[in-house]
């Protein structure tokens, strides 16, 4: 017989059910049709996110560690595999929106089935797998939280195409007037970056190491809509001198003249969010811009983007203030007045750093090694989390990454100047 441990800590089991329920609450307002559509290859349908995160627990925890486990549906092993080549085949990503079945109710039954089986596993895990099971459970929960944010941003992109401008969430109050941009100085020196302390981190946050930084000055807040409109009015989208060559070609090909979700109506700009179509708030931080747009703005402003290490050192100056996360109002909100504002849970902030491994980085063994390392090519690092990021999912060492053209995430701009 296999020896068993006593039950896992109650907190771990509660976390599992809390995260799983959070995903379903985010999906609840959306109809069967809403949950099926896919508006571009980079996005996925709502019900796919719900099923894929379930597939993760089924594939990496239940099948290896629960000998009597029987898969809910063998077809799902291909249908809801994202990019794990070492596990098996995947259904083509750009065609996920063509899958009308299983419907959302069947996906929820799949989730319920896997949850019940996970309860059985977590209640009495084999002693021989405890050291492997615990970190995989934690990874699975953080993986699902990542997909909670993607669920929101993907459905916003899909609904933005609808001329009805569907309203899902509650509106937010107008931003208060912002003060002039101020600069926070960081001295030249040797600093430590990377994850430290206890708790969870992704493999790409390690190992902690030293970096040498020259002195720099960082903006104390994010760039606002009004400031970005000044760039637009000054011909910022039409002057190739502000743009990287690849960015200029992309902008020209896509005929881009404003941030994503901005719509011109009778000479005025409006912005679509899950709260509907509303006038662009001049005091709110500009969002849904690509790396190319952020870099062009910085050039126009005679500044630059921070490197990811400058951002992390800047964040170490300020305590991590936990902002209110409200899934009914998934839009940036004013941050408490501190020396450096809007660092966390407001907008992901583009940095000028390519997404590369840290010195001494090692890819984990097995299929989970495909989680981060294999994407370290042609991507830029973003820091800080957004209003759609679960609040306990953000830390100063957290490294998000997207290609330079990505705009459908909650991305914003913080600039820097050299001493």
At 398 the pLDDT is: 95
Structure tokens at 301: 């402003």
Nearest to 22 by CA among 145, 108, 169, 164: 145
At 1 the pLDDT is: 28
What is the block-wise mean pLDDT of the chain (419 residues), using blocks of 10 residues? 46 90 97 98 98 97 93 97 88 96 98 96 77 87 96 98 96 90 96 92 94 97 97 98 98 98 96 96 97 98 98 86 76 81 94 96 70 83 95 90 98 95
At 46 the pLDDT is: 98
The pTM is what? 0.94
321, 341 Cβ separation under 8 angstroms: no
CATH number of the structural domain 183-418? 3.90.1580.10
233, 211 Cβ separation under 8 angstroms: no
The three state secondary structure string of 159-221 is HHCCCCCCCCCCCCCCCCCCCCCCEEEECCEEEEECCCCCCCCCHHHCCCEEEEECCEEEECC
Domain map of the chain by residue range? 10-160, 183-418
């Amino acid at each position: 017989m296999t020896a068993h441990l006593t039950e896992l800590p109650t907190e771990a089991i509660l976390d599992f059910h809390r995260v799983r329920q959070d995903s379903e609450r985010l999906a609840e307002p959306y109809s069967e049709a809403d949950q099926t559509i896919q508006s571009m290859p980079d996005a996925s349908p709502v019900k796919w996110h719900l099923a894929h995160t379930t597939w993760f627990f089924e594939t990496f925890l239940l099948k290896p560690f629960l000998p009597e486990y029987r898969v809910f549906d063998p077809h799902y092993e291909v249908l809801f595999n994202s990019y794990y080549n070492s596990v098996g085949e995947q259904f083509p990503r750009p065609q996920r929106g063509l899958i009308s079945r299983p419907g959302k109710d069947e996906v929820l039954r799949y989730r319920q089935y896997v949850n019940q089986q996970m309860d059985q596993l977590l209640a009495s895990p084999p002693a021989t797998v405890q050291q492997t099971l615990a970190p995989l459970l934690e990874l699975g929960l953080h993986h699902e939280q990542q997909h909670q944010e993607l669920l929101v941003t993907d459905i916003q992109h899909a609904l933005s195409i609808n001329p009805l401008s569907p309203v899902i969430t509650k509106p937010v109050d107008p931003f208060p007037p912002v003060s002039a941009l101020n600069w926070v100085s960081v001295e030249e020196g040797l600093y430590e970056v990377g994850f430290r302390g206890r708790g969870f981190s992704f493999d790409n946050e390690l190992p902690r190491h030293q970096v040498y930084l020259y002195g720099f000055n960082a903006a104390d807040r994010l760039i606002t809509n009004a400031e970005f409109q000044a760039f637009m009015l000054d011909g910022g989208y039409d002057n190739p001198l502000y743009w990287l060559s690849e960015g200029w070609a992309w902008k020209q090909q896509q005929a881009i003249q404003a941030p994503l979700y901005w719509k011109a109506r009778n000479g005025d700009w409006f912005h679509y969010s899950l709260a509907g179509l509303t006038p662009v708030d001049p005091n709110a931080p500009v969002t849904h811009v690509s790396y190319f747009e952020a870099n062009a703005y910085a050039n126009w402003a005679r500044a630059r983007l921070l490197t990811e290490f400058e951002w992390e050192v800047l964040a170490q100056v300020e305590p991590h203030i936990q902002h209110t996360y409200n899934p009914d109002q998934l839009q940036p909100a004013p941050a408490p007045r501190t020396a450096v504002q809007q660092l966390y849970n407001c907008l992901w902030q583009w940095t000028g750093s390519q997404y590369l491994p840290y010195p001494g980085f090692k890819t984990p063994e097995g299929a989970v090694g495909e989680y981060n390392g294999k994407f370290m090519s042609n991507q830029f690092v973003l820091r800080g989390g957004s209003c759609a990021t679960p609040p306990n999912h953000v830390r100063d060492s957290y490294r998000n990454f997207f290609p330079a053209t990505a705009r459908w995430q909650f991305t914003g701009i913080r600039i820097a100047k050299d001493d």
